[in-house]
A and B are shown apart, each in its own frame.
Chain A
Amino acid sequence: MSPGVAPGGGLKAALDGGRFAVTAELGPPRGADPDAVARTAAHLRGWVDAANVTDNQGARVRMSSLGAAVLAQRHGVSPVMQLTCRDRNRMALQADLLAAGALGIPHVLLLTGDHPRLGDHPEAKPVFDLDGVQLTWLARTMRDDGVLLSGQKLTVSPQWMIGSVENPFAPPLAIRAERLSKKVAAGAEFAQTQYVFDLGVFGQWMSCLRDMGITQQCAVLAGVGPIRSLRMLEFLRSGVPGVNIPSAVEHRLRSVPSDRVGEEGMRLCAETIQQLQEIPGVAGVHVMAFGFEHGVPEILERAGLARRANADAHSVATGSGHAD
């Protein structure tokens, strides 16, 4: 019998309880290897309220997010199943959302997805039958109205919490708050952001969201992550669309000896988390440390974020399912 997630835990419980929420990223393996998910889950278990299970992240093929989300759940980590519009048409998207509901996946995160051009199968057909806003809207309709896009009734409605993403740093900056507002109107209850390295721009965006009343309706989790080398700095700057690294951050990382860049990046990440906690309306952080999940506890500890209170409950609860 493998350990599972205690019902009622996860991101929703943290947000309802008014705690500063912590999510992290759990990248599924390139292979049919259930132990890889178990190992990553073991690093995060007890430290995060939920972990995003990515969906062919960066347009690179991995184990499906649904499969890996079920595995993560078996190993005591509450999953946020990511689902993108890149690889599935509206029929497949609805089918996977229903499966996620039936398997007790507590949260879904709905996005448009990276274009195949940037991934490992650039010759693939990009689907994009729906966009991220429409997928969010469709999920809300399925859950709350109990119907498919066709209008046909569902026998049982799924019950996941609906999440979305936003990049406060991508032009046109003037509409980035409205853009999240639109996603909230479509059904998003929580949103995770692109990496926050520019606290000035992020603070202005949050201030717009507060003025619009969006932070009352949608929990905003700020994206953070450690820059562990100058190579990674260069990759984030030029290889990942939409990441904005201010020159002050770059200067700080370049001004330490090369063997100290990793340490400085960890310190910077922890400091950023502390500063984010001071910004009104920020409901939590989302730690992106792909391939460095074992370092997440140290980052959180340095930022002063304690282990989650229900960590023990997670590790001993059995995977018996939906006993509310």
Chain B
Amino acid sequence: MNNSRLHTWPKPFRPRLSAQLSYRLHSLLAGNRVYRWFAVFLETHPRMYRSFTAVEKVSKERLFGCQMCGQCELPTTGYACPMTCPKQLRNGPCGGVSAEGRCEVHPDVHCVWVLAYERAAAAGHADDLDLLQRPVDQRERGRSSWVNYWQGRDEAMAAVAGSRPTICAKRDMAAT
């Protein structure tokens, strides 16, 4: 097998920004009326939308290894991106993590969910990992997750495990 090909699969990325700082930055991005208006504005101006999305991609790629899934899970994973897992697991680590905490597909790096747990736990957010994360909407790949977030589109992305939720996001949104 040619090892040089391994890079085409997602590879766990160690975030360049601390979890603490990331949680604080997130509060600056929290949805409000202005951001919402801005998001609607961007979507009606395709060239502006493309530029904005390019900025989001570059900054999040450098900081978190962002794969542009368009539905950002970072706030509930200690700001370690689960889409950098070669299996793109959204709900926690697989069973193939080595005893040293390394990824089974890329043994030269740590499992991104090991990083997620360490970062979330250190910041008092370990419970976030218990949330049930719904399947990714593959249509959103390459789109701006901030624009989606500000318009509340990812509110049904996760559910509290204890409430016996349905996996169907549309039904949940209709119910609330």
The answer to whether A and B assemble together is: yes
Bound complex: CA of A112 vs CA of B105, how far in Å? Answer: 14
- The yes or no answer to B31 lying at the interface (CB within 8 A) is no
- The yes or no answer to A14 lying at the interface (CB within 8 A) is no
Contacts of A131 in B (CB 8 A): 87-91
**B-facing residues in A127-172 (Cβ within 8 Å):** 128-134, 137-138, 140-141, 145, 147, 149-151, 165-167, 169-172
Among B44-52, B145-153, B160-168, the stretch in contact with A: B160-168
Q: Given A90, A117, A167, which contacts B6 in the complex, CB threshold below 8 Å?
A: A117
Residue of A nearest to B104 (CB): A241
Bound complex: CA of A82 vs CA of B111, how far in Å? Answer: 25
**A-facing residues in B87-129 (Cβ within 8 Å):** 87-101, 104-105, 111, 113-114, 117-118, 121, 126, 129
Residue of A nearest to B121 (CB): A174
Q: Given A129, A149, A179, which contacts B92 in the complex, CB threshold below 8 Å?
A: A179
Contacts of B129 in A (CB 8 A): 175, 178
Among B21-29, B33-41, B130-138, the stretch in contact with A: B130-138
What's the nearest-Cβ distance from chain B to residue A245, in Å? Answer: 10
Contact A171 B167 (CB under 8 A): no
Bound complex: CA of A179 vs CA of B9, how far in Å? Answer: 25
Contact A166 B132 (CB under 8 A): no
Contacts of A186 in B (CB 8 A): 132, 161
- The yes or no answer to B139 lying at the interface (CB within 8 A) is no
Q: How many residues of A contact B (CB 8 A)?
A: 46
What's the nearest-Cβ distance from chain B to residue A157, in Å? Answer: 14
**Most A-side CB within 10 Å, residue of B86, B90, B95, B104:** B95
Contact A172 B99 (CB under 8 A): no
Contacts of B6 in A (CB 8 A): 117
Contact A165 B95 (CB under 8 A): yes
Contact B135 A129 (CB under 8 A): yes
Residue of A nearest to B106 (CB): A117
Bound complex: CA of A166 vs CA of B87, how far in Å? Answer: 16
Contact B168 A149 (CB under 8 A): yes
Bound complex: CA of A112 vs CA of B138, how far in Å? Answer: 18
Contact A185 B91 (CB under 8 A): no
Bound complex: CA of A134 vs CA of B111, how far in Å? Answer: 20
What's the nearest-Cβ distance from chain A to residue B127, in Å? Answer: 9
Asked if A134 meets B133 with Cβ closer than 8 Å, knowing A151-B171, A171-B111, A172-B118, the reply is: yes
Contacts of B89 in A (CB 8 A): 112, 128, 131-132
Supply 28 A–B pairs (Cβ within 8 Å), ascending by A: A114-B104, A115-B86, A115-B87, A117-B105, A132-B94, A133-B91, A133-B132, A134-B90, A141-B166, A145-B168, A147-B166, A150-B168, A150-B170, A151-B171, A165-B95, A167-B96, A171-B97, A174-B117, A175-B92, A179-B93, A181-B161, A182-B91, A185-B162, A185-B164, A241-B96, A242-B96, A242-B97, A242-B104
**Additional A-B contact list (12), CB under 8 Å, known A113-B87, A170-B99:** A117-B1, A117-B9, A118-B105, A129-B138, A134-B133, A145-B168, A171-B97, A171-B98, A171-B99, A171-B114, A179-B92, A194-B95
